[in-house]
Amino acid sequence: MRADPSLLADLAQAGPFGRQALIVAHGELGVREDRGRPNRGPRVDQYLAGVDGGRADLLCALRSSGKPCLLCDLLPAPAAECDGSQWCGRFARWCFDRASQVLQPGQPLLLAGWASLASALKWRDQARLHRSWVETPAPGRVGLHLNGDGSGHVTLIPRVKGRVITTIAGNEDNEVATRERPPEYFNGGFVELG
């Protein structure tokens, strides 16, 4: 996917961290997973590991959703990871952590202490805990979609036009891509990080 400068047109409405996170995300458009290795790849592994390289959440998608994975159980630790992890939440975290490094160099990251943020449910719970959860979309916010099984999708929002919310997210058909969604898609609400 090619970069689309029009996606950044509404950034004046976003707070400084949301604006910078969207600029970071925009620069990642088109990054794909490796073929034959779901939820893995050099750049995807960087998102999963985070800006500190801590390899947090480099677990398989089954295990990260709380279900057992026989393959992971057979692999020796610390290599117990069969196919990576769903990475939309970690991509959003990576974008905000990179924004933090730009806006507050040498300072603790904006989301320090927010746990792994590997899923939409974790994003919602941490946002509520930190009083950053809101009900309305706006440019620079993080949008949350929750499924009944605890899984979901985490997106960054560059544009809101009426009933059309444009998103940038990781793990959109195995790549960083944009989509347009209706407000009701975001049944987990939104996160305002300023």
Query: Above 50 in pLDDT, residue 174?
Result: yes
Quote the pLDDT of residue 2: 56
Quote the pLDDT of residue 84: 53
Q: Which of 163, 164, 142 is nearest to 154 (CA)?
A: 142
CA distance 139 to 9: 10
- Segments in the chain forming alpha helices (H): 16-27, 42-49, 61-64, 70-74, 88-103, 120-129
Q: Which residues contact 71 (CB under 8 A, 6 or more apart)?
A: 60, 82
CA distance 91 to 21: 10
Binning pLDDT at 50, 70 and 90, where does residue 138 land? very high
Quote the pLDDT of residue 43: 86
